Amino acid sequence: MKNLNHSPSKPSSAVPTISQKLGALGLKWTELKGQERQWLLGLAWVLGLAFFWGLVWLPWAYLSSPQMATEHLVFSQLQELKSQASQAHELLVKPQLSASDSRSALNKITQSLLPQAQISTNANQVTVTLAMAQAADLANWIKRIREDAQCQIREATLNRAISNSNGVFWSARFVIGLPNPS
């Protein structure tokens, strides 16, 4: 009776293993002449040094060089200046609002962002008084009145009202200048 549960001791695969490949490579190495071996070793050293220079030395030298650090700082400052110049150009191109258009834009922005605010108008300036507002709301409101209503804050008085789990609340009084009539 034949044993049906036998397993072969070696896999019968046609793919050579790493040890077989290394053995064949070692055999070819021994067949090479002395001068050919020296050329191959020299080439291996050159390639190894090139990889070391490109992957280790060059990045390290770049990062540790004060000149490169300075150039990087100057480049980042140049990018920041370009960004600011672009913003300045946008402001110059933007059409100038009249005092009445600016006042109506200020009223709309204030009513939408700070509906609890009290607004009083006196000649070419507006006074906005708030009993309680969060800092983030105030910052957003100030940004919007500067950009959209083209107003300037001439005077600001801020007092810390309360602090609780919802954040810090401020009472404030702003005197806002409208654009000069043109």
Helix-helix angle 99-113:135-147, to 10 degrees: 160
- Residue 181 has a pLDDT of 61
The answer to whether the CB of 141 falls within 8 A of the CB of 114 is yes
**Band of residue 58 on the pLDDT scale cut at 50, 70, 90:** confident
Which of 18-22, 24-28, 60-64, 168-172 has the least mean pLDDT?
A: 60-64
Least confident segment among 17-21, 108-112, 118-122 = 17-21
Lowest average pLDDT, out of 16-25, 26-35, 56-65, 115-124, goes to: 56-65
Q: How confident is the model at residue 129 (pLDDT cuts 50, 70, 90)?
A: very high
Residue burial 130-151, b: 16+ Cβ < 10 Å; e: rest:
beebeeebbeebbebbeeebbb
pLDDT at residue 116 greater than cutoff 80: yes
Domain boundaries, the chain: 19-73, 99-177
Cα–Cα distance, 34 to 18 (Å, whole number): 26
Q: Model pTM? A: 0.52
% of the chain beyond a pLDDT of 70: 91
Q: Is the pLDDT of residue 151 over 80?
A: yes
**Do 132 and 162 touch, CB atoms closer than 8 A?**
yes
Class for the domain spanning 99-177: alpha beta
Q: Which residues are 134's β-sheet partners?
A: 169
Closest CA to 97 of 151, 152, 144: 151
In terms of average pLDDT, the best of 57-61, 89-93, 124-128 is 124-128
Q: How far apart are the C-alpha atoms of 125 and 175, rounded to whole Å?
A: 7
| 167 in Cβ contact with 147 (< 8 Å) | no
Name the residue among 137, 142, 143 with its Cα closest to residue 169.
137
